[in-house]
Amino acid sequence: MGLGERRNKPFSVNPLQEKGVSLYVHLPYCASRCRYCDFNAWVADKADFTSYIDAVLHEAREKATGLNPQTVFFGGGTPSLFPKEELSRLFEELQIITGYQTSAFEITAEANPESFSEEKASVFSHGQVNRVSLGIQSLQPDILRAYDRAHSSEQALQALDRIKRVFSQCNVDMIYAFPGQHPESFFSDLEKLLAYSPDHFSCYELSYEPGTALTKKRDAGKWNPEDPDLCEKLFLAVQEIFSRHQYSHYEVSNFALDNSPCWHNVATWRTLDCVGLGAGAVGWEGGVRQKNILRPVEYESAIFERGSATLEKEVPKKETVLFDLFMMGLRMPHEGVSIERAERLTGLNPLLVYDKELAQLRQEGLLRVTPEQIRVTPKGLLLLDTVLQSFLPTQSV
């Protein structure tokens, strides 16, 4: 398959504490809505940023006082779109409430090229952000236009340059398999960006999530997704390119130079505890998963009225917790699921619970099973959803 073995080597460090907790803060506003996006994002034209930040801080006081998280992620939406005064206030107050600036070894914030000015970079920096994740997606002007992205390719490269100068770590987000895009144009985008040596890439196949403009068009028969065979070729070609540039393929769509994965995300793939703040944010703590109200103004009024904006609460039974460990853990080909850890967390031994399924999947060449861990093979990674379906418990909650 031409996939280098090096990508299957685990990282030589593990700064994540098993008992530690992460903090996720959702900043939901964007300059425009991208046609493929199903995140909880809202166009900012009527946004009241001050009120939103007030609500997040209020929620933080209720849920995260003295939290001392080991990682923090400011996601969106577009955090860099928020006014600098509001961002400064958020960072300062949140530090007072949670102590994150001293407790966290990794503090990530997302940014989009059109709003990541010198000023914003400096505000991020004052907030002790040490990792910036830049949503570039493509450098092709026609694609940026067609998918309603709000920036040009020049702006993207300028922003990347800025990040490289100010921050110790940097991620670039890219999307491929836009129907009709010539594979070479995507590869040349990657090569251009690789010249800046960002230490991390997230490279996603364009996906058709429920409710997006693109999915509606596809379902109405007005849009043909890229041919699945070509998508597979692109998936493998992307791995090949990053392998050639010494990046480790540590998750389905994520690539990192040595020991610089996004540890916050590694924590979620290990299903470690995380507190979520903001509209639509999801938290997972002590066996309970909670999701907040999605619409920012409704989230704000719920927080101001009753100090909480929980929309859904799930207490999965142990079989489901075990499944979730597999669903998330198997996404990391070199790490997989630790059998000892799974049993410690759920009281269930996966070798017994998934006895037949594991034998079958092993025989099909999709899984590697050792007494310590269960991992996907390169073929199993390609068919991960098929693999996961065989582990599904009958009733999830």
Triad 275, 329, 73: Cα angle to 5°: 30
Contact 202, 256 (CB under 8 A): no
What does the DSSP assignment read for 115-150?
Answer: G--HHHHHHHHHTT--EEEEEEE---HHHHHHTT-S
The correct pick among 328, 339, 351, 369 for binding other proteins (CB under 8 A) is 328
Binding mask 262-281 for other proteins (x = CB under 8 A): ---x--x--x--x-x---xx
CB of 183 to other proteins, least distance (A): 15
- For residues 325 and 396, give the distance between their C-alpha atoms in angstroms, rounded to a whole number: 13
Q: Which is nearer to other proteins, 244 or 379 (CB)?
A: 379
Size of the site for other proteins (CB under 8 A): 43
User: End-to-end distance of the chain based on CA atoms, in angstroms?
Assistant: 39
Q: Is 285 in the site for other proteins (CB under 8 A)?
A: no
Q: Which residues between 12 and 41 bind other proteins (CB under 8 A)?
A: 24, 40
310 binds other proteins (CB under 8 A): no
Strand segments (E) across 180-304 = 200-205, 248-251, 254-256, 273-277, 282-285, 288-292
Give the nearest distance from C-beta 389 to other proteins in angstroms.
5
Instruction: Please give the structure tokens belonging to residue 72.
Output: 């923090």
CB of 4 to other proteins, least distance (A): 19
Query: Is 331 a binder of other proteins (CB under 8 A)?
Result: yes
Instruction: Indicate which single residue of 16, 136, 241, 327 sits in contact with other proteins (rule: CB under 8 A).
Output: 327
**Site track for other proteins across 213-252, x = CB under 8 A:** ---------------xx-xx--x----------------x
- Contact criterion met (CB below 8 Å) for 323 and 393: yes
For position 385 contacting other proteins by CB under 8 A, the verdict is yes
Helix, strand and coil percent figures for the chain, each rounded to 5: 45, 20, 35
- Given a contact cutoff of 8 angstroms between Cβ atoms, the answer to whether 276 and 290 are in contact is yes
Residue among 133 and 162 whose Cβ is closer to other proteins: 133
**Can residue 205 be called a binding residue for other proteins (CB under 8 A)?**
yes
What is the rounded distance in angstroms from the CA atom of residue 125 to the CA atom of residue 120? 8
Closest to other proteins by CB, 121 vs 387, is 387
Using CB under 8 A, list all residues that contact other proteins. 24, 40, 204-205, 207, 228-229, 231-232, 235, 252-253, 265, 268, 271, 274, 276, 280-282, 284, 289, 291, 312, 314, 320, 323-324, 327-328, 331, 364, 379, 381-386, 388-389, 392, 396
